[in-house]
Amino acid sequence: MCCFSGPVNAVGATRIFARLFADGRQALAYGADVDAPAELAMVLPLPVAPGSGEAGVTFVDLSGYPGFFAGLAAGFGPLPGRGGVNPVPASAPTPLRVHDVGDFVASYVPTIADFARLDQRFRLPEGTWERLPGYRDHGFAVFTLKPGLRSLQPMAFTFPSANPDKLFFPTVHIHDGAVHERADFDHELYLQPGGGVIPGTGWDESRSDAQAFIAVDRAKGLVDGERHVYRATLRGSLPNRDTWA
């Protein structure tokens, strides 16, 4: 997913890891290469269970494990090349809590209405969410990104899922408020499903348990070292939507 509060020069090499826990929480870790001309925010819509409130999302600091996604990739064979009325002023809303997560400052926005509590610079353009009614019941993880070309440190968190039988990958693209039916994808998706479930077709299985290629202690509980990991890729022009597994 690439939902940005402002224009970006380029985005690529997106990597997302998802894992389902027995208690219905889902873990997500997100990485990408981003070239931004100015400071902006990346917004990840999340299908958070109703009633979770502002404490629904728990951020995980992976700044001590910048090679997290390289480790995941090592569990598989190589991939092929990438191709006029004056309004009456309202009282100021209470600002959202911010979290220092390694190289990032992160916030959790529990509802669309709560974006009014976020710094104006880091909101998506007015009317964006009205064009995406499927997100009216979602929460949103917001990460502030610095300008320049960067390979992002993995951004990670857990949340109580509104759909605990499936894994969610935020893959819809929104750049500077523009929402298109199709988008150019350059994504690697990794998952560990819950229970003894094995994902369907289109997912490759790792050659061994995750502990053979992931430093489980540095992954802060996101990865089960005694289970396999599965990988799928999204490449080229595809329907612009989120991915479920």
**Which residue type, as a one-letter code, is found at position 70?**
A
Q: Residue for token digits 């329907």?
A: 239
pLDDT at 11: 86
pTM summary value: 0.86
Residue-wise pLDDT for 165-192, tens only, equals 999 999 988 876 667 889 889 999 999 9
pLDDT at 136: 86
| pLDDT-flagged residues of the chain (< 70) | 1-2, 80-104, 176-178, 196
Record the tokens describing residue 15, joined without a space.
Answer: 């990597």
Length of the chain: 245
pLDDT at 1: 54
pLDDT at 71: 97
pLDDT at 91: 38
pLDDT at 183: 87
Strand pairing class (243-244; 230-239)? unpaired
Long-range contacts of 205-209 (CB under 8 A, 24+ apart): 205/229, 205/230, 206/75, 206/76, 206/230, 206/231, 207/75, 207/76, 207/77, 208/75
Do 17 and 54 contact (CB within 8 A), yes or no? Answer: no
pLDDT at 192: 95
160, 184, 189, 158: which is closest to 172 by C-alpha?
184
43, 10, 242, 22: which is closest to 155 by C-alpha?
43
pLDDT at 95: 45
Distance spanning both ends of the chain, measured CA to CA:
15
Helix (H, G, I), strand (E, B) or coil at 205: strand
- What Cα–Cα distance (Å) separates residue 34 from each residue in 12, 42, 145, 189, 225? 7, 10, 9, 18, 30
41, 36, 30: which is closest to 4 by C-alpha?
41
pLDDT at 176: 60
Question: Is the CA virtual torsion 79, 3, 152, 6 positive or negative?
Answer: positive
189, 186, 172: which is closest to 242 by C-alpha?
172
pLDDT at 5: 79
Q: Mean pLDDT over all residues of the chain?
A: 84
Residue-wise pLDDT for 213-224, tens only, equals 999 999 999 999
